[in-house]
Amino acid sequence: MQVFALTALVVYWFAWGYPFIFRAPHHQKRESVTVAPPSQVGLLLEGISIFMAFAFRLPAYAAPGWARVIPALILGAVAAIFAWTAVQHLGKQFRIQAGLYEDHELVRTGPYAIVRHPIYLSLLAILSSTLLILTPWRWALVSLAIFFVGTEIRVHAEDKLLASRFGEEFEAYRQKVPAYLPFVR
């Protein structure tokens, strides 16, 4: 089962990362406004949490059982679906760091109708899938705590930026749609 779980994890990471690497627009020739410092700190914390998921491993003799593998498989699929649909609906608005383009549009379709930040939801899902398969519980909880701090920093930076551009339109969207956890306000 360990080989199956690890193979599934590799496939899910590839499926999750593919749209960001090969489908998202990376080199756009448009003017942009960027709020980098808070967003970069959040990105760093998210990176640390992912590093922890891979660095602090279950012992070789403690392969994950089905109680961990089945939720990991479901979360991996959710991660890939949200990554692909978020990149598709975001289109030319895609950015790694919090920022707006001069002609930025507020996207509210597809996964953006479910959560305002579906890429963060997809990252949480792939991280959780990884933690379930590879990481002891105590380190998984630490990793998740660091991830949530980093993601909250990024969400607040992006929401502030979107509110400054879209005003009442964004506030109405923010009141209606949760940040990155469905059903959690």
pTM for the whole structure? 0.93
Segment 63-95, tens digit of pLDDT: 899 999 999 999 999 999 999 999 999 988 887
Mean pLDDT taken over the chain: 92
- Rounded alpha-carbon distances, angstroms, from residue 8 to 14, 75, 77, 134, 135: 10, 11, 10, 12, 15
End-to-end Cα distance, the chain: 37
Residue 40 backbone phi and psi in degrees, to 5:
-70, -35
Q: Is 153 helix (H, G, I), strand (E, B) or coil?
A: helix
Give the per-residue pLDDT at 185.
65
Q: How far apart are CA 111 and CA 163, in angstroms?
A: 19
Q: Do 9 and 69 meet the contact criterion of CB atoms below 8 Å apart? A: no
Q: Do 126 and 2 meet the contact criterion of CB atoms below 8 Å apart? A: no
Segment 17-60, tens digit of pLDDT: 999 999 887 777 777 776 667 888 999 999 999 999 999 999 98
Residue 31 Rama label (left phi>0; alpha psi -120 to 50; beta): beta
Is 184's pLDDT higher than 70? yes
Residues 6+ apart with CB under 8 A from 5: 63, 64, 69, 72, 133
Q: How far apart are CA 31 and CA 164, in angstroms?
A: 17
